Structures are given as structure tokens and as C-alpha cells.
A and B are shown apart, each in its own frame.
Chain A
């Protein structure tokens, strides 16, 4: 993802619809650079041909229909950027939220880039919690991948630590972009009311 796309994505996370003020854009550029310098991106993945039992559930079954296999992936930016966001919260709170959004945009973008290893014929990363799936299913991904070796942990509450971390499923052998069709929140979604979608945040500006 190039810098202007990253910037648009970060701005979207900050709720910027339409043109953001120049000062905000400048801060986003600055924070993207800082996020890059603090990021220690690490990822683990494993390919499978046969579905694990939890993937027999509806949202996953439909998502993986027509795939020749799939990969489970987990990735993190590490904890240094999290420490900096925490520190900025006391020193310059506006910058802290901008850096937080930039780090989110960056982990998504670096994750997409990392997944290119699975070839062009692949789906987007479907994360437990999407499309009515249960976020608690992350535990199956953690059992399979042991992301502790890249410094990730699934907390008892089901959250991942460090905060800028993701875990998901990439379908192989078929191309698929995100859509709203299987989202339980589609009805009454604020993005859709404005003719936008949540998952292509870079287009939301």
C-alpha cells in the first residue's frame, strides 16, 4: 500500500469523511512515519487443505466455499508502538489518537503485504468476529499457530495483546473481496447509510 492510501485509511479511522484539515493531514503523515519506525511487524501463518472443526460453522463454511485450501495467519506490530501511544496520551492526546489510527492502518497494510506470499489467488483476511462469526474463535487460531513465539497473546477476555495485532483466515485458490452481504450489522450500519463500507476505509474519505 502506498503512502497516500495509508494516509487515507488512517484518516478514515479517525472519522474523517471528506477533506481533513491540512494540520490533521500533516499530523497523520508525521505519525505514519513514527508508526513505521516503532513497528516490529511479525507474522506467522500455516496452510491447510482440510477444514478444522470450527471452520464447519456457517460464516466460515461459506467464506471458504470454493477454496482449495486456506491459511491461518496471526500478525502484530509489537508493543513498542503501543507504549508510545500510551506515553503520548499524557503528553499530547491528539497526537496519541492519530498515532493509534496510523498504527491500525499500518498493521492492516503490512498484513495484506505479508499475505502476498499466498499468491494472487486468495481471499481477503477473514477475522473471527466478522460476519456474525464468534470472536472467541480466535482461540482455535492461537492453538494452531502458537503466536506466543512472535510475542502475541490471547487474553482470557478474548482480546489480543499487543493491541495492534490481527488473526484471521485467508482462503486460497479463489479471489474474494469483502462485502456486506454476510454482515449481521449491515442493517442500520452508519457507513452504509452514507453509501460507504467499513472495510475499504481508504475509500471513505
Chain B
């Protein structure tokens, strides 16, 4: 056992650059484990002789996603371990990234990445002394990798990422976010490697040392690489590198080694530091959650947006049931714009598969919105699924004082490093007095600690009862808040519950919000689109000195006093046709309502909306209108259709269903998205399967939905092949819907040759083709 964290350990240095020095630069470095085993061993032995306490196998590119060469992966993996073993030191398996980008930017799924690393762990766990996960630049891929290792081996896992000069990884994560995620997942040590030299990395390492108590690993390059005569040169001398190593050791780093450009000579220079006592330090214990790019620390008032919850929202409920997550995504983005710090996500609709819905909804939201999430469910399986696939550290809502509930949720929070919200109630319901609620809070916190969840990862909700039914108990919520706050715990309240059953609810809500903020509330769960509620929070931040110099407040409200009371200057539209032609979305809905007072709904569609859209389509075809105007008009018509739809029996004005997909292998979906908006504007219900869609998903959707037409999109010649396969699969499955295709490399002739029923050059012609079908 290595004395990790107590005594400073020296790791080895660069492998690739050493092999290059031996003239082996032209070969696949992973295959050298077999073809030039003796050379690889000589590098390992040189590092051991230089004084490295541990040896990393030459296995950086050995995972099934990255390595596609001629040897079986198993052969290279065991050769790499054997070669490292020859140095006679503890052997760490070097685990590098897959080199593939995760969806939605790339096409690799979290599960595929996980499986690649699980395979590595299964192959090596019995042979190695530990794992060095390194050079990761995507937090989500790192999470997949570390989870796979944690679930398949009990050997130590050290994990490091690379940061650039902005102090962020390529995908935008900060050192604090990385530290929190890795500590949460339970690695043994964490840190940084590669990309920068020791001087540039120092500030990043200082931040990591402040963010975690875990041992910190640092493996810098030998300076920032420069290019001279077409070659990469590392500028630091071994002495300069060693001087930096000294500083790192003094700062509290526990494992020091080198990355690109470092050699056995470099390691020899830093080897005298081996065995030095690692200075003790204490990281800040912050209650915080994070997404991949945003971290929210609960050291002041933080607003949790409550709008992604179907309770009392029939439209949202229907959208979740229909697996249409655009609606949720739009809610997320609007709350983000309104200034929320994190967002609640609840998909609890009776009769659905809640874990599956939580997974799908959470993925949709986290792919679009950067705010951290509070996963909210009474179904432990849904919380587990959410926490597993969340790209960051979520807040789990919730546990309460009931032992059975804590026994289900705490293991989930422990495993994924989540923060837990504890409700101060138990099997006996909500206690009346503040003291009883504080007692439950204490029980929750101490039980969490028994599960290995430190107190700073527990938040407490002292529960709001309605003032209409339980008027005297409003004061108890406040007292409980101050008792729990006194325990040093961050607190949460669903503020608007207080006004149920009363008139003028907003007035009660914002008054209560001011009271609880003054009472020490950390996280109000509110509707951030309510400007008065957000205003109360901002004003409170001024009055409590959280907003220093009122800078944020002034920046936001400076112009508010001068703004004219009415929306003067806004374009005024004459009628619905005008709204559509000019692309005025909000006005279109108003004009549609007005139109409906003089016309029947169907007449409004056929005599106003459709002719206006046709006018827009013609203008676009003739080059008088451009793409942004086409889309703005489509959005205006969509808004009008929504209003008209509410007046029709059955609650919809759908002129027919259309299934849209960008075919397998293709990730460019802007064309398909434009077609979607325009088709919706013409009153068609679009089932959008997204991009990189496997043919069987298209077939399944078409058989289920029985649409009027299927629209397929492909950008490149290579993906036209998968379009052809999708069409063949549809026909083989007996699809009778018309198959329309479009995309940059297609034309009518190619469309015919791959078996499509039609080619449409742009979005308006797609809509025209649908019109022809629906009228036929």
C-alpha cells in the first residue's frame, strides 16, 4: 500500500515523448507494448531507477472506443501491464479518454463510454495496483469512466483533467467543479495533468487544494510547448521543473510526476521529494451543487426555479406524458434568463415510467441549459437514474425523517456525491412546532453522516403550510428556519405554498418571501418569471449587504424607472395576417384571439393563417424574404395556431402528423429544425426524433404514430447511405406514409434513387408537399 496523502509520492513522466526519442514515433504507441516490448520496458525501468514510486502502464489509448487496431484489446492490455511490472514498482493502469465526443456534440453515449471503461476494469483489476485516469477534458466522459471503475474494481483510482490558461477544461468545467464531482464519486486522489507547464498550472492547483481534502495529483508538461522548425519543444530545464515541484510539495500536493516532455532525468531531479510529509490542510466545506459548467454555492440566497413541475400544470403534464421535452427545455431556458440559480425538475405524472421520464427529461434539459438541477421525485429509482446520468452534482429532493425513506435515498446521494434536501416531517406528518421540526432536521443530518454523507451536503426544508388553513403555523416555519440555520445548515422553502386558498396570492407570496429571507432562508423555491418575487430577492440582497454597493441591483433596475409605462415603440400590428407576415409572435396570439370573435376557428385557419403563410412562402421563394423572417413568420403562425387550437373540439387544430428525423450518423440538424418550425406553423403536429436517429427508431415511431408523412434529413454523401437504409427499413415494415427527403447533397434524382417518395428543397416546399397530401 502506498502512503498516499501522508507521504509525497513521485509518479513517472512522459511515455510518448520517450518512445519518440527512441525513434519509435511512427508506430502506434499502444502496439509497441507487443512489437517493441523491450523498449517500452526500458522506459519503465528508467523511471523506476530515477526514483518513481509508481509506474504507469503504457495504456493511455487502450479502450475499445479509441483503439481500433489489429491486436485484440486483451492482448495489448496484458502486455502493457506486464511491461510496467518489469520495473518492480506498483503499477497503475493509465486510463485515457476515448477520443470521441459525447452526444449531443458527438455521437458517443454515456453508456457506451461507461462500457468501454468497465471492460478495462474487468480486464485489469486483478493485475494492477491502481488506476491513473488522466488527460480528460470532458466532465461527463470522466464521470462515465470513474463510475465504471468504481463499480468494477476496488483498487485505488486517481483521476486528473487538463485545464487551459482560462482555468477551464475544453468543455468549460472549473477546478472546483472537477474536485466536487470526483470527491463525490469517491476517488482516492484527484488533480491535473498535461496541457500546461508547472508555472501556468499553479493557480489551478491552488484552487483544487482549496476545494478538496483529498490527496492532489499534479503532472505538468515540461513547460508550455513551443514549435521550432516544425518540432514540438518543451522549454523548461529539469532544474526549473524541479524548482516548481518544490513549490507544489510545499503547497500540499500529494503525488507529483510529469506529462509531455518530461523524462527520467526530470523525474530524477524531483525524486528527492519522495517520502516528505504532505502538509496538512483543510478545504472549505461548502454546500454547493454544479452542472458541468456552473457551480452554485449556497453561501447566500440562491433561487431555485419551480416551473418544471407538472403539479397543477395540465400542458406540462401532457407534454411529459407525450415525451415531448421541448416544453420543459423552454421552461428551463426562460427561468435561466429570468435569473434563477438552479432549477427544480419533477416529472411526476401518474401512470408513466418515472425513472425513464426523469432520465429523458434531465438529458434534454442539461443539453440545453447550463444551470444546476434539483432532481425532485418521491420515486427513489427516478432519483437514482437522474443522479447517475447527471453531468454534475445534483440536489436530490428529498428525504424526510422516515427511516425507510432515508434508507432508500441516502445510498444514492452517497454514491453520486449529491446534496440532499431533507424535509422536516416523518411518518407522523408535519410537526406543529419549530422544535419538533428542528429535531427531525438533526436526525436527518446525523443519519446522513452514518451513510458517509458529510453535513455540508445536507440542506433542510422546514416546510411551508398554508396561511389559510394553518395561520398560526406560519410563525413555526420561520422559527424552525432560524433553528436549522443556527445548526449551520442551508435551508429551502417552497414559498408560494403559503398562499393556497387566499385571494391575491402574489401579494401574500412576496410578503412571505421577504419574511423568510430576513429569517435566514438560503434557497427559496419560487417562480423566477414572477418579476416581483425576483425583485424582492434582489432588493433583499441589497438590504442584507449581499449585493455589495448594490451593483447588481442598480445594473438591473437603473432603466426600469425611466421606462415608459406602456410598451411604446413596439410594432403595432393591424391584424393576424399582418402579424404572420411581419413575424410578430406575441401580437399574433392576441390578434388570433380577436379574429376568433368574428370567425369560426377553421375559417381563421383556412382563410387567414394559411393564405398568410403562403404569402410568406412565396416571398421566400422569390428571394424577397430571408430565412430569419421565414422563421419568425412561422413562429407567429404557430402561436396563432395554439390559440385557435384551444377553441376547437378535441383541443387541437392539427392538420395531421409528421415524423421528422436527421438520419443515423448525421449530427447537423439545423435544416430539420427549420422544417419542423415551418411545418408546425402550417398546423401539422411534428414528432421530432432528433438527430443521429437509428433506422429502427424511425420505423417504430412511424408504426406508432401513423403519420401523414415522414421527413428525413441528411447533410453529407456518407449519411445519404443511412437515409437509403432508413427508407428501405420503413418500406420493409409496411410504412404507407409518404417519405420526403431533404438536405444539402440531395436533389430530386438522388431522392428517387434511394427510394424516397419526394424531395423538398426547403422548408416551405416541405410544408407545401404536406398541404398537397392532406388535401388529397
> Is A21's CB under 8 angstroms from B674's CB?
no
Q: CB-nearest residue of chain A relative to B681?
A: A93
Q: Which residue in A24, A91, A161 is a CB contact (below 8 Å) of B101? A: A161
Knowing A93-B674, A96-B673 touch, does A162 contact B101 (C-beta < 8 A)? yes
Q: CB-nearest residue of chain A relative to B717?
A: A135
> Is A90's CB under 8 angstroms from B368's CB?
yes
Q: Which residue in B171, B230, B329 is a CB contact (below 8 Å) of A87? A: B329
- In the assembled complex, B3 has its CB within 8 A of some CB on chain A: no
Residues of the A chain whose Cβ atoms lie less than 8 Å from the Cβ of B717: 135
Stretch at the interface among B103-111, B207-215, B752-760: B103-111
- In the assembled complex, B666 has its CB within 8 A of some CB on chain A: yes
Q: Which residue in B172, B370, B626, B668 is a CB contact (below 8 Å) of A159? A: B668
- In the assembled complex, B429 has its CB within 8 A of some CB on chain A: no
- In the assembled complex, B99 has its CB within 8 A of some CB on chain A: yes
- In the assembled complex, B20 has its CB within 8 A of some CB on chain A: no
- In the assembled complex, B288 has its CB within 8 A of some CB on chain A: no
Stretch at the interface among B74-82, B607-615, B629-637: B629-637
- In the assembled complex, B326 has its CB within 8 A of some CB on chain A: yes
Q: CB-nearest residue of chain A relative to B169?
A: A151
A197 CB to nearest chain B CB (Å): 17
Knowing A79-B105, A155-B107, A161-B101 touch, does A93 contact B665 (C-beta < 8 A)? no
> Is B105's CB under 8 angstroms from A82's CB?
yes
CA distance A110 to B482 in the complex (A): 54
Residues of the A chain whose Cβ atoms lie less than 8 Å from the Cβ of B99: 148, 153
> Is B667's CB under 8 angstroms from A161's CB?
yes
A33 CB to nearest chain B CB (Å): 16
Residues of the A chain whose Cβ atoms lie less than 8 Å from the Cβ of B333: 87, 90-91
> Is A157's CB under 8 angstroms from B673's CB?
no
- In the assembled complex, B627 has its CB within 8 A of some CB on chain A: yes
CA distance A138 to B172 in the complex (A): 26
- In the assembled complex, B116 has its CB within 8 A of some CB on chain A: no
Residues of the B chain whose Cβ atoms lie less than 8 Å from the Cβ of A18: 623
User: Which B residues between 582 and 629 are near A, CB-CB below 8 angstroms?
Assistant: 583, 623, 626-629
> Is B626's CB under 8 angstroms from A16's CB?
yes
- In the assembled complex, B2 has its CB within 8 A of some CB on chain A: no
Which of A83, A86, A93 has the largest number of chain B CB atoms within 10 A?
Answer: A93
Contact code string B80-91 (vs A, CB < 8 Å = 1, else 0): 000000000000
CA distance A17 to B215 in the complex (A): 60
Residues of the A chain whose Cβ atoms lie less than 8 Å from the Cβ of B626: 14-16, 20-21, 24
B323 CB to nearest chain A CB (Å): 15
Residues of the A chain whose Cβ atoms lie less than 8 Å from the Cβ of B334: 91
B15 CB to nearest chain A CB (Å): 16
Q: Which residue in A17, A96, A161 is a CB contact (below 8 Å) of B106? A: A161
Residues of the A chain whose Cβ atoms lie less than 8 Å from the Cβ of B326: 90
Contact code string B677-713 (vs A, CB < 8 Å = 1, else 0): 1000000000000000000000000000000000000
Q: CB-nearest residue of chain B relative to A129?
A: B716
Which of B628, B635, B665 has the largest number of chain A CB atoms within 10 A?
Answer: B628
CA distance A89 to B648 in the complex (A): 28
Residues of the B chain whose Cβ atoms lie less than 8 Å from the Cβ of A85: 670
> Is B172's CB under 8 angstroms from A80's CB?
yes
Which of B105, B583, B632, B715 has the largest number of chain A CB atoms within 10 A?
Answer: B105
Which of B97, B583, B718 has the largest number of chain A CB atoms within 10 A?
Answer: B718
Contact code string B102-143 (vs A, CB < 8 Å = 1, else 0): 001111000000000000000000000000000001000000
CA distance A96 to B100 in the complex (A): 26
- In the assembled complex, B226 has its CB within 8 A of some CB on chain A: no
> Is B635's CB under 8 angstroms from A93's CB?
yes
- In the assembled complex, B719 has its CB within 8 A of some CB on chain A: yes
> Is B715's CB under 8 angstroms from A150's CB?
no
- In the assembled complex, A180 has its CB within 8 A of some CB on chain B: no
CA distance A80 to B329 in the complex (A): 17
Q: Which residue in A16, A95, A157 is a CB contact (below 8 Å) of B719? A: A157
Q: Which residue in B104, B330, B628 is a CB contact (below 8 Å) of A27? A: B628
Residues of the B chain whose Cβ atoms lie less than 8 Å from the Cβ of A80: 172
Residues of the B chain whose Cβ atoms lie less than 8 Å from the Cβ of A15: 623, 626-627
- In the assembled complex, B470 has its CB within 8 A of some CB on chain A: no
Residues of the B chain whose Cβ atoms lie less than 8 Å from the Cβ of A155: 106-107, 665, 667
> Is A94's CB under 8 angstroms from B668's CB?
no
A193 CB to nearest chain B CB (Å): 12
Knowing A87-B329, A96-B673, A163-B668 touch, does A157 contact B628 (C-beta < 8 A)? no
B433 CB to nearest chain A CB (Å): 46
A89 CB to nearest chain B CB (Å): 5
B440 CB to nearest chain A CB (Å): 40
Can you report 9 A-B residue pairs in the complex whose CB atoms are below 8 A from each other?
A: A21-B629, A40-B170, A48-B230, A86-B368, A87-B369, A94-B635, A135-B716, A151-B170, A153-B106
Known: A14-B626, A78-B170, A87-B368. 20 other contacts (CB 8 A): A20-B626, A21-B626, A21-B629, A87-B329, A91-B330, A91-B334, A92-B635, A93-B674, A95-B628, A97-B674, A153-B100, A153-B106, A155-B665, A156-B665, A157-B666, A157-B716, A157-B718, A157-B722, A159-B719, A163-B667
Q: Which 8 A-B pairs have the closest CB atoms?
A: A157-B665, A151-B170, A87-B368, A94-B631, A94-B632, A161-B106, A79-B105, A153-B101
Taking Cβ atoms with an 8 Å cutoff, the residues of A that contact B are 14-18, 20-21, 24, 27, 40, 42, 46-48, 78-80, 82-83, 85-87, 89-98, 100, 135-136, 148, 150-151, 153, 155-159, 161-163
